[in-house]
Structure 1
Amino acid sequence: METTKNALITGASSGIGFELARCFVRDNYHVILVARHGSHLDEAAQTLQREFPQSRTTVIPCDLSLPQGPEQLYAEVQRLGLQVDVLVNDAGFGESGLFVDTDLQKELGMIQLNVASLVHLTKLYLKEMVARRSGKILQVGSVVSFMPNPKQAIYAATKAFILSFTEAIQNEVKDTGVTITLLCPPATDTNFFNVANMEDTKIAQGDLADPKVVAEEGYKGLMNGDARVLPTFGAKLNFASSNLFPDSMLAMLMKSQMKEVK
Structure 2
Amino acid sequence: MANQTVLITGASSGIGFELARCFARDGYRLILSARPGGDLEQAAQNIQQEFAGVQTVVIPADLSTHEGPLHLFEETQRQGLQVDVLVNDAGFGEAGLFVETDLQKEMGIVHVNVLALMTLTKLFLREMTTRNAGKILQLGSVVSFLPNPRQAVYAATKAFVLSFSEALQQELKEMKSDVTMTILCPPATETDFFRVANAEDTKVGQSKKATAQEVAEGGYKGLLNGEARVLPTFGAKMNFASSVFFPDSMLATMMNMQMQPESK
Q: Please, what TM-score do these two structures have when normalized by structure 2?
A: 0.97
Offset at residue 37 of structure 1 (A)? 3.0
Matched residue of 1:203: which SS? helix
Q: Is the 8 A contact 1:199 1:205 kept in 2?
A: yes
* Structure-2 residue corresponding to 1:109: 108
Equivalent position of 1:221 in the other structure: 222
* Matching residue of 2:184: 183
- Map 1:213-252 → 2, pairs under 5 A: 213-252=214-253
Worse-superposed segment, 48-57 or 220-229: 48-57
Unaligned runs of 5+ in 2: none
Verify the 8 A CA contact 1:94 1:196 in the aligned structure 2: yes
Tell me if the contact between 2:12 and 2:38 (Cα under 8 Å) persists in the aligned partners: no
Partner SS state of residue 32, structure 2: strand
In the TM superposition, residue 118 of structure 1 has moved relative to its aligned partner by 0.2
Match status 1:208 vs 2:223: no
Q: Distance in 2 between matches of 1:261 and 1:244?
A: 27
AA aligned to 2:39 is: H
AA of the residue aligned to 2:212:
P
Task: Quote the offset at 1:248 in angstroms.
Answer: 0.4
Determine if contact 1:85/1:134 at 8 Å carries over to the other structure. Answer: yes
2:12 is aligned with what amino acid?
S
- The alpha carbon displacement at 1:207 in A equals 1.3
Question: 2 CA distance for matches of 1:127 and 1:177?
Answer: 13
* 1:260 matched residue in structure 2: 261
1:7-59 alpha-carbon deviations (Å, 9 max, x no partner):
00000000000000000000000010000035511110111011101211111
Q: What is the aligned partner in structure 2 of residue 56 from structure 1? A: 55
Cα distance in 1 for residues equivalent to 2:34 and 2:27:
21
Q: AA paired with 1:145?
A: S
- Give the corresponding residue for 1:27: 26
Given residue 35 of structure 2, which amino acid in structure 1 is its aligned partner? Answer: R
How far did 1:148 drift? 0.2
Q: Which amino acid aligns with 1:95?
A: E
CA distance in 2: counterparts of 1:3 and 1:32, whole angstroms: 14
Alignment of 1:156-175 (within 5 A): 156-174=155-173, 175=176
User: What letter is aligned with 2:207?
Assistant: G
* Cα pair 2:7 2:30 within 8 Å, conserved: yes
User: Which amino acid is the alignment partner of residue 117 of structure 1?
Assistant: A
> Matches of residues 26-105 of structure 1 in structure 2 within 5 Å?
26-105=25-104
Question: Does residue 123 of structure 1 match 2:122?
Answer: yes
Where does residue 146 of structure 2 map in the other structure?
A: 147
- Extract unaligned runs of 5+ from structure 1: none
AA at the equivalent of 1:246: P
After TM superposition, where is structure 1 displaced by more than 3 Å over at least 4 residues in a row?
none
Q: Distance in 1 between matches of 2:39 and 2:58?
A: 10
TM-score, L = length of structure 1 = 0.98
RMSD of aligned residue pairs (Cα, Å) = 0.9
1:260 corresponds to which letter in structure 2?
A: P
